[in-house]
Structure 1
């Protein structure tokens, strides 16, 4: 889409015999000097900047029929049938800027996710193992976004994100969550042989997408896949049980359960030698302390 066009116009002398030359803006006759643009003629003082009113005759200017500008200002200085024109100073104040290089976009641009880019700036940001940038032009290519960056399919699939571009063999499969197929060029998340749309691969508690994020998987058994639940890291911490010994949440690692209580593996230890008991044999003393088998035998021998 052409946002703006840079043009120029020159001053022209009116022949004394031509008395029918009419200014396209004010409708008055042009008696001596005129300027022209788009097959229309103007008084030099009528051919002016839509913002500051400075004459544009005899020099370069920018014009656009679709650039956003204050409507009241345009109506007061410009005909509804006229394109909006700017001198270079005023154009810099309103011109769209490239979301990548931040420089003004003077001609055509690429619009992606409500952002505008120079065509030369909208390229794949992928980098190979040697540090060489891909820089493939993405104007007419499928775009795979990640963290406000954009990649071509080849570079995106090389990223270790848990999300990949749908390959041909995946197109025949259906999303485990919504049971809909994957469109060519769409993104897909895979977990243990099941495929999901990234918007369907969500935390079962807060419903936020866990694609390309850390998550926890819960299931009652391997045979009950339908009851499997995914939790994002925040929800997992909220639901985690409290260690009876240290009172902190048991977020990761193996938990030890005994008499309806839960412990970090490192917290479930012998009160005498302070070694982890784990799943080994142990004994509980009358005062509620746990002793590993060796310490319990030693204690009994000392009491004899």
Structure 2
């Protein structure tokens, strides 16, 4: 055994000298790595000639040569450590984490740069949690209201012109406004006079009563009941106080239903609108003569 050990050491020393000498006299264009591989192959053969087994651990998936030293198992294959590299940057991966795609290995940086989804707000790769909304991907902390900047809670978001908004800002900015109170109309509403109204806001502009019959009168962009509409227009009968919708008589700065334009004393209808006035009252000619000319 000591003789074999001396012979092995001698041969290794001799081969090392051969490698050094060969390396020194390599032609200028010869690849030193190729020459070294050749020398290592010769070393393997000489070790076998000495009776020392040199069983390879496998063949490298990259260079297809036997692996006699350190090796890496990855992607279901064996590799020389220096040959297990990123498919994009070609840097040695070694024992660092890597990602597989279509049978190729990528370092973390290149994998995320090439294949990870991008945030619609910052355009950076999304490395951890991803939020999908509006047909795009986002970092969760970058999906927020386009107006106030607050991240959305459980109530979700509303979309307008391809931008997300919280409920409060969406309603304040884009919901139709009530014609009565000018606040956003969210649910039940009435449509009248080319705008929308909260049902409780669509009332007479003077008495604030709702329109139970469904009919109303418009004046200066506001709704009114029949009584207050005619009152504002000056078309209430001075005799009965009710609206005049047909023929009317104008007298003493007032309007009357024809049948209500009567003598204040005998209550007879003043025919053909002929009357006499005294103390803001109307009289027929006979009553006027009887009361004021005797």
| Richer in helix (by share) | 2
TM-score class, shorter = 0.3 to 0.5
Q: TM-score scaled by structure 1?
A: 0.33
Larger RCO, structure (CA 8 Å, separation 6 or more)? 1
Q: TM-score scaled by structure 2?
A: 0.34
| Richer in strand (by share) | 1
Q: Which has the larger radius of gyration?
A: 2
